[in-house]
Structure 1
Amino acid sequence: MVRRSRYLRHSLSPWLMGTWRISWTQLSLWIGSGLCLRILIIFMQCTNHRQSTFWMKCIVEIHCGGPQHLVVRKNESECMILSSACHGDVKCAAILFQLIDVGFFVCFDAFLSLLTIMPTRILIKLWRFLTARQFKRLSAAELCDFGCFLVLACGVILLGQTDISLIYHMIRGQGTIKLYMIYNVLEIIDKLCQSFGGDVFETLFNSAEGLATCSQENMKFWIRRFVSDQALAMAFSILHSFILLAQAIALSTCIVAHNNALFALLVSNNFAEIKSNVFKRFSKDNIHNLAYADSVERFHISAFLLFVLAQNILEAQGPWFESFLFNAFVVFFCEMLIDIIKHSFLAKFNGIKPIEYSEFLEGLCKQTLNMQTEDSKKNLTFVPLAPACVVIRVLTPVYAAHLPYSPLPWRLFWIIFLISVTYVMLTSLKVMIGMGLQKHATWYVNRCRKRKHHLHFD
């Protein structure tokens, strides 16, 4: 045995010497390849009768497989309902776009009426009083005009005492997160003021009507009630004016900032609005009120952008108008996009059909035409006193900066001239907007009547 082992070792030593590592690597590859080939042969032998089925399955998946297999199959009627629902969401968005635009112009018309028609009525009443020299009991409309004018004058005077630059630098010194929180808090308070403001001024108008029609015995009671309601309306309107002014300053801070604070504010605020509204159950009346609130919000944003424009006119250096137009376009585009997305999801998850949004628009058109509706609570409620205070406070320094340096009589002349020109322009704009709203409302109401007549006939 010893001789045999020595013989084998001496006979294999030339093959092993000097080639151990290379031969070991090649041996490993040969063994691995052999094992893989053996496994493949065994697999093919075991599945030989299934080869045709395997290749047929591949062909079927190539030709028929796709994303449509990821959803649940529906019958033809369910598919038709689903298709109509998807198209209905698009129609809801289109009608919503028109509804918010009409609501915006209704708010703008009320705002211009406050600045043009109300002062005209007050001047006519004063002129009649001075010429007749005989005091008569004021009507309810005249009491409302004098009450609103008093609220507007006090609001403008108090806002004129505020230091906008101080508030601006206080807000600008905050970080982006704090700025976002400040703007959201102001927006929530603004919505609360909008909800409460209609009731406050409706109470004031009811008190004015009671004072105008009361007997002599109840005069003192109605005077006390009217004065208390007037004080409440004045305090509320002034508070709302300060909230809107602070919100306009916060938006101006975001626009002027160079760290993309505007985009961060718009993205965070708008997605927070989507989160708070979609995937929730809303009734038809709630969605109706939400659409009207979006119209009022768009008007407030327009007032904020007017504030930014006035600040740029007074303080900006260098070319700024193109940047302002771009930022204004971004703000309005984001608002429109978010409103469409929000109401599309609300319509989808609450089963709101396009015909119901059409009814919302029909109700707004009837309100424009002063037609009686089934429920007066569904009307658009907008109190333009607080935005008017902010706009007058913002535009007054712009007018003052462009007055010529001249003696006092000439300065008074230029002040009266600028006020007169502005009044004529605003009155003309109010008349044109009113005529446009009247024509659109008449056309849309007639269209809805014809549609209902055809549906009833069918």
Structure 2
Amino acid sequence: MRPANILWPAALLFLWQLAVWPGLASDLSLPSPESWALLPPAQYEEIGGHEVVSTVPAREPKGVIFILHGCLQLVTEWGFQSEHCPDCHGMPEEMVTVWKLWRRGYAAVAVGPLNGGGGFHCYATGTDEEEFDVPEVPEMVRTLRQILTDNRWWHLPRYAMGTSRGGAMALIIALHFPLQGVGSMVMGLKPVELLEGSLAPVDAQTGATWAFPPVLLMQAQADQPEVIGVIDRTIPVFTRQGIHVRKLIMQPYPITPAFFAERIRGVSLEVSVRLHARWRSVGLLDEHGSSNASNARALAGAREALFEELEPLGIPDLEEFEDAQGERGLHRVFIELLWAAEAVHEITSQHVDTLLDFFEDTTRHEPRHWLRSRWAEAWAGRGGSHDSASTSDVQDYAAESAAAPDSPQAERSRDAECVRQGPFAEYLKAELDPGAGVKRPSTAELMRGQNERQRVYNALLSVPCQLEQFLLFGLLICLDSFLAVFTVLPVRFARAALAVVRSAVGRAPGRRPRAGGLAADQLFDVLCVLIFGATFGVLRLLPAGAIYFWLKDLTQEFLKLHVVHSAVEIFDKIACAFVVDSLEALSGSCTMFVTGHGSRWAAGRLAMDAAVTLALVIAHGMVLLGQVMTFSVAMNSARGHALVALLIASNFVEIKGTIFKRFDAGKLFTLTCQDVAERFHLALALLFVVVEEMDNAGSGRPNGALLQRCGAIFAAEVAIDVTKHAVVTKFSDVRPGVYRTFLRDVCEKTRGSQSHTAHRVVAFEP
């Protein structure tokens, strides 16, 4: 193969690897220092005895999110200090939450407890020693109604999210105020008396009823047992009453050196890195960045480090906390961040996008032209009071809801109708003209087929778009890791060789350094380069031409080609699994050899692992060579179109093996990652065929007919993946928003990874 044919694409790919890729893996779900300036100023007001802090997009919001905070939070912590909110002092997790809501186009409206201004207060939900019949709920409903009326937001979707006691209050409000979704963080429905009755929402003033909205319960992994018990008691009650409920277990997440700069406005990356290092030195963070805030001694040392690092800087936002609550306020800022990262009973902004995806995916398809307008008229009022027309409309809707197809009233009505015997002419007239005498369609008729329509459009439109976004990002991760083998790994090998030379030159007389002065990762890099070099040398000795013509003679018949292709594909998966395990074992042996653990057998174990890895890599290389040559034979055959069609048809075995299985989110993520690896593997195989044909023809341009065949195969792979996932999500009742969650999780993990570890995020091995 002529080097000139591949020199220019290799150079472009190398430049792309060094210059473009780092920006693609950035976490778009966290605010940058510049983006804080784009956030609109918070608006403070008092409505009906409740403090309200609102952050509203410049354009009409996509929806309204009512925020109900916990007992140890203030409503003024949900906005930055400004002329419109002079007492605001936004806390980090709260403000990142507000920023994410604003970025997604939602109005964030934090509503405090009744008469709770100026201090920490809990919502009166009837828990502990309180009585449930308190004015908190009706006053809160009146306040929410006033907010929607003043801002003319009745036509927008309305959701509520709460933390701790605020989460319980959000679930209670859904019984008295029409919402399209509720998110409760670290709390279920309290008090217990509510779980013992029927969760049938009703308006006390008008008698209007509606279905209880979908609920996402977010449980911290290390939360208090009593809180976990409340959540676990809530879920079966909701399920039995037909309420759509999901549970999200919030896992601990590491604190990176850039953690504080990403969450606190005014903290630079340099200060964040320095503070991260200090906290690791006092034991508050372990080597992986995990929080250890429950360690009192480490917490005391971290407090001193906090003030030593931050007090001289004069950061305005941090001064707001000190002005509002003194040193306790500044200390609360970082305690909140640490507890949230530790997944204890604390608010976190980590899962806000997941909550919004849940809201958007489960929003009911309401008949907006009638139902929503009646709600707006009845709740907002005309001229300060409900007119008789709007009240009667809502009551009609309540009656229609009561007469749902499965309700007792509907059963009695059908029984009575069956008893009544009418003339045959009236029966025939009713059959021929079902809509005669109907003034307006019922709610059941308006809602008929909406769920089926949603499933169809999810499968045809939403799933393909969101799936391809994830697969495209996964392909970029695979490409980055693949290029790192040819760009970054040689550089690391050169640095390791330089370290050996420096160690040999600067070694004291009579002293022999272990492993030639190499660290464990450097020794592993050296062995990898030697193994890959030896594999390359062995593969060059193989008679490629003889193998090609042998495969060409063997695969003249369709059945033989199918058998060879399937066999090579199976051997590829088996060899890849063994190679991955052997490389992991070799990495562990390098660590043991360098650190001196088990030094008696460390050298022999290292040599044995290196030999086994070399043999497996050579075997896998031969399998891959046979696979790409099978592709080349099929593409360049005189009966190429038929052979390509056979290769495409063989891929439909994937659909047969997956569509009738039920997948949860975890299994679906594994399946999607497998599709990423398969698609990248196919792209490399097709690229090999094209470049080989260019080399054999002595041309610098690819063959047009060959490109068409490659495009047909790749397009078929895309169509198969889309069809497979569309049917799987439909049969498993999985919402398309799960792919957005997958993409966001992969972005967050990739952001903290390097090129030699990023591929593990999508279970790919270069």
Does 1:304 find its partner at 2:678? no
Out of 253, 257, 260, the residue aligned to residue 633 of structure 2 is: 253
- Which residue of structure 2 aligns with residue 338 of structure 1? 720
The amino acid that maps onto 1:349 is F
1:371-386 matches, within 5 Å, as: 379-384=761-766
Count of residue pairs the alignment pairs up: 320
Q: Structure 2 CA distance, aligned partners of 1:317 and 1:207?
A: 46
1:233 counterpart = 2:613: yes
Q: What corresponds to 1:201 in structure 2?
A: 583
Whether 2:603 is the aligned partner of 1:223: answer: yes
TM-score (norm 2): 0.39
Question: Does 2:450 match 1:80?
Answer: yes
2:628 paired with 1:270: no
Q: Matches of 1:252 and 1:57 in 2, distance apart? A: 68
Distance 1:160 1:265, change over 3 A: same
Stretch moving more, 93-102 or 74-83: 74-83
**Paired residues of 2:694 and 2:702 also in contact (CA < 8 A):** no
Q: In the alignment, what sits opposite 2:542?
A: 162
Equivalent residues of 1:266, 1:334 under 8 A apart: no
Please give the alpha-carbon distance, in whole angstroms, between the structure 2 residues aligned to 1:377 and 1:353.
Answer: 26
The separation in 2 between residues aligned to 1:59 and 1:238, in whole angstroms, is: 76
Deviation at 1:229, TM superposition (A): 2.0
Q: How large is the RMSD of aligned CA atoms in angstroms? A: 3.3
**Uncovered stretches (5+) of structure 2, i.e. residues with no partner:** 1-424, 436-443, 508-512
1:233–1:107 distance in 2 versus 1, CA, 3 Å: same
Distance 1:167 1:350 in 2: 45
User: 1:150 aligns to what SS in structure 2?
Assistant: helix
Distance 1:214 1:87, change over 3 A: farther
Distance 1:377 1:329 in 2: 26
Q: Separation in 2 of the partners of 1:116 and 1:206?
A: 24
Which residue type is aligned with residue 121 of structure 1?
Answer: R
Letter in 2 for 1:198: V
1:341 Cα deviation after fit: 0.6
How many Å separate the matches in 2 of 1:126 and 1:371? 25
Shift of 1:355: 2.6
Deviates more, 1:148-157 or 1:89-98: 89-98
Query: For 2:624, which of 244, 248, 257 is the aligned residue?
Result: 244
What are the Cα deviations for residues 65-101 of structure 1, in whole angstroms up to 9, with x where unaligned? xxxxxxxxx8655633223323333322212111111
Deviation at 1:145, TM superposition (A): 0.4
Query: Secondary structure, in 3 states, of the residue corresponding to 1:379?
Result: helix
Q: Match of 2:666? A: 285
Q: Which residue does 1:177 correspond to in 2?
A: 559
2:492 paired residue among 97, 121, 131: 121
Q: Which has the higher strand share?
A: 2
Q: Give the Cα separation in 2 of the matches to 1:82 and 1:378.
A: 37
Higher relative contact order, chain-length normalized (CA < 8 Å, sep 6+): 1
How far apart are residue 169 of structure 1 and its match?
Answer: 1.3
Distance in 2, Cα, partners of 1:371 & 1:113: 13
State the 1:273 CA deviation: 1.8
Native 8 Å contact 1:144 1:208 kept in 2: yes
Equivalent in 90, 103, 106 of residue 477 of structure 2: 106
Q: Which residue of 2 aligns with 1:431?
A: none
Offset at residue 58 of structure 1 (A): 12
Q: Which amino acid aligns with 1:211?
A: F
Name the amino acid aligned to 1:280. K
Question: Amino acid of the residue matched to residue 161 of structure 1?
Answer: L
Q: Deviation digits for residues 10-35 of structure 1, max 9, x if unmatched? A: xxxxxxxxxxxxxxxxxxxxxxxxxx
User: Which residue identity is paired with 1:331?
Assistant: I
Deviation at 1:247, TM superposition (A): 0.8
Higher helix share: 1
- Are the counterparts in 1 of residues 658 and 724 from structure 2 also a CA contact under 8 Å? yes
- 2:690 touches 2:706 (CA, 8 Å); kept in 1? yes
CA offsets 1:84-132 (integer angstroms, 9 cap, x no match): 3233333222121111111111111111111111111111222343345
Encode CA deviations 1:243-263: one digit per residue, 9 max, x unaligned.
Answer: 111110111111111222343
- TM-score, structure 1 length as denominator? 0.63
Q: Is the 8 A contact 1:91 1:354 kept in 2?
A: yes
Establish whether residue 314 from structure 1 lines up as the match of residue 695 from structure 2: yes
The correspondence of residues 414-425 of structure 1 with structure 2, limited to 5 A, is: none
SS in 1 for 2:542: coil
